[in-house]
Amino acid sequence: MKKNIIAGNWKMNNGLTETIELIAALKPLVKDAEAEVAVCVPFTDLAVAKKALKGSKIKLGAQNIHWADKGAFTGEISGAMLKELKVDYVIIGHSERRQYFGETDATVNARLKAALKYDIKPIVCVGETLAEREAGKVEEVLIRQTEGAFADIDKASLKNIVVAYEPVWAIGTGKTATSDEANDTIAIIRKKIQKLYGSPVAKALRIQYGGSMNAKNAKELMAKEQIDGGLIGGASLKAVDFSQVVNYNA
C-alpha cells in the first residue's frame, strides 16, 4: 500500500527562531497523521530543523541540490552536504526555480541523479503555465518535462522518487485546479511513467498535487484516485493550517 505524502514547501520563509517555533507547534498537531509528512525548509534552517524534529515522524526536506559533488559553484549546496545534515527529501525543479533561476529539464535531470546518488528522496516538480494550458499544450509540456527529468534514471530508483504536479498558475495564486483537472493531468504523467517503466512502477509512484492546496480543498483533492498527497506552500507556514491539510481525513 502506498502512503500519501504531504510536504510543506516553506520557500524563502522562516529564520531560525521561526523554524523552532513552527516545528514545535506542528509536532503535536500531526503526530497521528496517516500520511507521511515532510517540511522542506531553507538551507540555513536545515540543521536547526533536524534538531527540532527529533521525537517526531516528520521528515526533513531541502529545496534544491546541486549536481556536482563539490567545487567552484558559488552559492550552491551539494548532495554530500545535504546528506551530512540527514536530509530525507529534496524538492527539484520547482516552477519558481524554472521561472526565476533558469532551471531546465536537463538541470532537473542532473539534480535528480545527484539526489539519488546521495540517497536523498527527490520530489520532482512538473507543471504547465497558464499560457501553455490555454494553448492546449498541457500534455505536450508534461510529457516533455517528465521525459527530461527521468532521462537515464533506472527503474529501481523510481521507488525512491516522488513527483509533484504543480500547475504554475495555481501556485500561490489562490486558484486551485479542480480535483478532476488535477486528477486527469496527473493521469497523463502516470501514463508516461508507465510507458517508460511499466505498469507496476507507474502505479506505485507517488504523485502529489500542489497549487493553493489548503484545509478547505485538501479532502476533495486527496480523494482522487491519481493524487497521492500534496506539496503545500502558503498553507504550510502556519502550524494549524498545515496540520489541517495533513489531517484532511480527520
Q: Supply the angle between the helices 138-149 and 179-197 in degrees, to the nearest 10.
A: 40
In the complex, least distance from residue 80 CB atom to ligand PEP, rounded to whole angstroms: 26
Cell reading at 168:
504554475
Cα gap 80→112, rounded to integer Å: 14
Closest approach of ligand PEP to the CB of residue 213, in Å: 6
Torsions phi, psi for 61 (to 5 deg) = -130, 150
DSSP 3-state of 38: strand
Taking the complex as a whole, the smallest distance from the CB of residue 244 to ligand PEP amounts, in Å, to 13
Q: Where are the alpha helices (DSSP H) in the chain?
A: 16-29, 46-52, 79-84, 95-100, 105-117, 130-134, 138-149, 179-197, 199-204, 218-222, 239-246
> Helix, strand, coil proportions of the chain in percent (round to 5)?
45, 15, 40
Instruction: Output 78 or 185, the one with its CB closest to ligand PEP.
Output: 185
Q: Which of residues 158 and 235 has its CB atom nearest to ligand PEP in the complex?
A: 235
Of 107 and 176, nearer to ligand PEP (C-beta) is 176
Q: How far is the CB of 74 from ligand PEP (least distance, A)?
A: 25
206 pairs with which residues across the strands?
162
Nearer to ligand PEP by Cβ, of 46 and 235: the residue is 235
Cα 22 from Cα 221, distance rounded (Å): 25
Cβ 62 to ligand PEP shortest distance, Å: 14
Chain position whose Cβ is nearest to ligand PEP: 233
Annotated active-site residue in 36, 96, 128, 166: 166
Nearer to ligand PEP, 13 or 56 (CB): 13
Residues at the site binding ligand PEP, with contacts judged by CB under 6 A? 9, 166, 171-172, 210-213, 231-235
Question: Which string of DSSP letters, residue by residue, matches 140-174?
Answer: HHHHHHHHHHTTT--GGGGGG-EEEE--GGGTTSS
Cβ neighbours of 84 (radius 10 Å): 12
Is 166 marked active-site? yes
Catalytic entry in 36, 94, 103, 128: 94
Degrees to nearest 5, angle at CA 160 with 219 and 144: 80
Active site residue 66: no
Residues annotated as catalytic are: 94, 166
